[in-house]
Amino acid sequence: MFMKNMVFLPALLAALLASGPCGAAGAQELRPEAVNKASLASIPPERPPKTPPRPEPAIVRLQVLLDRAGASPGVIDGYYGENVSKAIAGFEALRDLPVDGKLDPELLGRLSGDKPVIEPPVIEPYVISEEDARDLVERIPEDYSEQAEMKHLGYTSVAERLSERFHMDIDLLKALNPGSAFAVGDTVSVAMPGAAKEGKAKRIEARRRGGQVLAFAEDGSPLAVYPATIGSDETPSPSGTHKVKGVARMPPYVYNPKVNFKQGDNSEILTLPKGPNGPVGTVWIDLTKPTYGIHGTPEPSHIDKFGSHGCVRLTNWDAEELAAMVKPGVIVEFTD
């Protein structure tokens, strides 16, 4: 009942940005000062029908501000995708505004006032430390039997570690830092999404159709909103109301093909080591419904784009934030 195994996709955008005239133009458009000064008023009220060829500075700024406000856009990538619309609707709910998922003057005013320069900036410099380069692994094999032989399912590069720490798509990180080797001592530009939201959740709502998870406080007000993958057509999530049983951080993953799903040619029970690139990411929120939980993912850019094996999948950082808000007994309701 856990997440579907995904083939790791090549970073096509990063390759384009790193080569030829188009790459140079993309890098110029993604200078940190351009993002920090981008006007939110330039963003259309509704999501455009076509995806632009490269990340947009104003969308990067919007995503960071939404993240800071507790309405997670998932991965900050600079594209006006469905998760941005969800985050806008989530922000409206958090601020008790009419919920339609559209940008309007009142929402922009609540978000930042759309000043030419904001404090703190959404993009800031960061010096890569020795700690950032520790415990990296060469690669994460697709096959679970190979993963089970590893000691740690860690990050495969400094860039991957930084992109996750700062809630960024790795292609956006590379676009903001064209030509960087991401070596220890290098100064790079990163998004600054802000500190994790705090609070005590009384109830969690997993909205299957909308692909969102909402955490509610004791008084019924929303605390935070996250984009989520909630089951799939082949393996739907549970229905009804359940409870949080417990939280495991950096959990190993026990693969049992008779209980979970069939992965490749593996027919035996395997124990995969812990790590951010493990099948359930960095945290597992166990539910009273056996084998089901709310968990992280090694592929944050896939949130609500690919199905899961019935569980609720969030980005690692969103799952960690939610885990800090819950305790055993918190209600988890699955709705349509």
Say whether 295 is catalytic: yes
Cα–Cα nearest to 32, from 187, 182, 251: 187
Q: Is 92 helix (H, G, I), strand (E, B) or coil?
A: helix
Question: 204 near 331, Cβ under 8 Å?
Answer: yes
Residue in 167, 242, 309, 311 annotated catalytic: 311
Q: What does the block give as tokens for 95? A: 């601020």
Beta strands in the chain (DSSP E): 123-127, 187-191, 203-207, 212-216, 222-227, 229-230, 240-249, 253-255, 270-272, 283-287, 293-295, 312-313, 331-335
d(CA 70, CA 159): 25
Active site residue 302: no
- Separation between Cα atoms, residue 43 and residue 45, nearest integer Å: 6
Of the candidates 280, 316, 32, the residue with the CA atom closest to the CA atom of residue 165: 316
State the catalytic residue, choosing from 167, 242, 295, 302: 295
Bridge pairing between strands 212-216 and 203-207: antiparallel
Q: Which residues pair with 19 in a beta bridge?
A: none
Q: Do 78 and 205 contact (CB within 8 A), yes or no?
A: no
> Amino acid letter at 223?
L
Residues recognised as catalytic: 295, 311
